[in-house]
Amino acid sequence: SAERNIVYCLQCHKPQENLPVHLARVCMKKSPPEERVHEVQKAKASNREWIRKNRTWNYNRLCELLPDRRSRIVMVKELLRRGFFIMNQPQESDMVLEPEDDSADAAAPATPPRDPQTVSPSVRTKMKKAGLHDKFPARAKLLVGFKNYLTVSRRVPNWQQEVDNVSRFLREPSLDFLSKNKETEDFLTALKHADLCTATILNYVKSIKRFLEYLTARLDLRKRHPRLRSDCQSFTDILNRLRKRLYKSHNDKT
């Protein structure tokens, strides 16, 4: 016999090769024929609607729904595996998840690292002398947006610490840091010279990476800066290398 089109039953949400028969025998066996006919029409219309509109996703929309890069890439791969289409999908090289992300997070302390403001007086003094305690005003738009991202989208409990870490790193509310690779390495080295423990320095790296996720999730910034996503990814790669170096240095000492 001719192959039948599979249509999902809107009652049980299961695919059916012969929906009228299925409804008559199972889901709507007590309903009059005219209601079953109407249900078949609804199911076929729903099937057509899904094929025409709902099988395709836009990657920009996924960025809005899933600001976290790792979660977004996992979702993209799962959608593709299930046969969905994704418009504006990034290059394959941008879809790679760095394996050190998992190992680094697993090796991180179970309790949150101490905030630099609560470290010993001697360390705090060294940070102030080196200018590492300086922050720009919290009312700056980039910081306000980052705070909202942490509290609303990510629900980070220690959001204030992350905002402070990013503020100390940036020094000024702009995207210029994306092109200052050497300065980033110098900043982490300066934290080390101020006798901050490795866990606290790694917490700075984690905060900066979360800030990059926030930037790539902002469509208005991406429109003004077409290279923002690729620049943020390049900067993330640099942070991952620096983080691995910090772990190696810490493990060599222990």
Condensed to tens digits (0 to 9), the pLDDT of residues 203-240 reads: 999 999 999 999 988 888 888 898 998 999 999 999 99
How far is residue 52 from each of residues 17, 186, 190, measured CA to CA in Å? 20, 52, 56
Residue position matching structure tokens 């996992």: 74
Predicted model pTM: 0.55
**Dihedral angle over CA of 161, 96, 54, 216, nearest 10:** 40
Range of lowest pLDDT (42-56, 64-78, 201-215, 230-244)? 64-78
In whole angstroms, give the CA distance from residue 136 to residue 195.
23
How far is residue 82 from each of residues 55, 110, 153, measured CA to CA in Å? 10, 35, 26
Given a contact cutoff of 8 angstroms between Cβ atoms, the answer to whether 92 and 237 are in contact is no
Give the SS3 label for residue 88: coil
Which of the listed ranges 39-53, 105-119, 146-160 does the model predict with the highest average pLDDT? 39-53
| H-helix or E-strand spanning residue 248 | helix 228-253
* Beta pairing partners, 85: 56
In whole angstroms, give the CA distance from residue 160 to residue 162.
5
Between 177 and 114, where is the model more confident?
177
Range of lowest pLDDT (37-46, 65-74, 138-147)? 65-74
Confidence of residue 157 (pLDDT cuts 50, 70, 90): confident
How many beta carbons lie within 10 A of that of residue 172, not counting itself?
10
What is the pLDDT averaged over residues 66-76? 82
Domain assignments of the chain as residue spans, ordered by start? 1-54, 55-92, 98-253
Query: In this structure, what token pair is assigned to residue 81?
Result: 């595996």
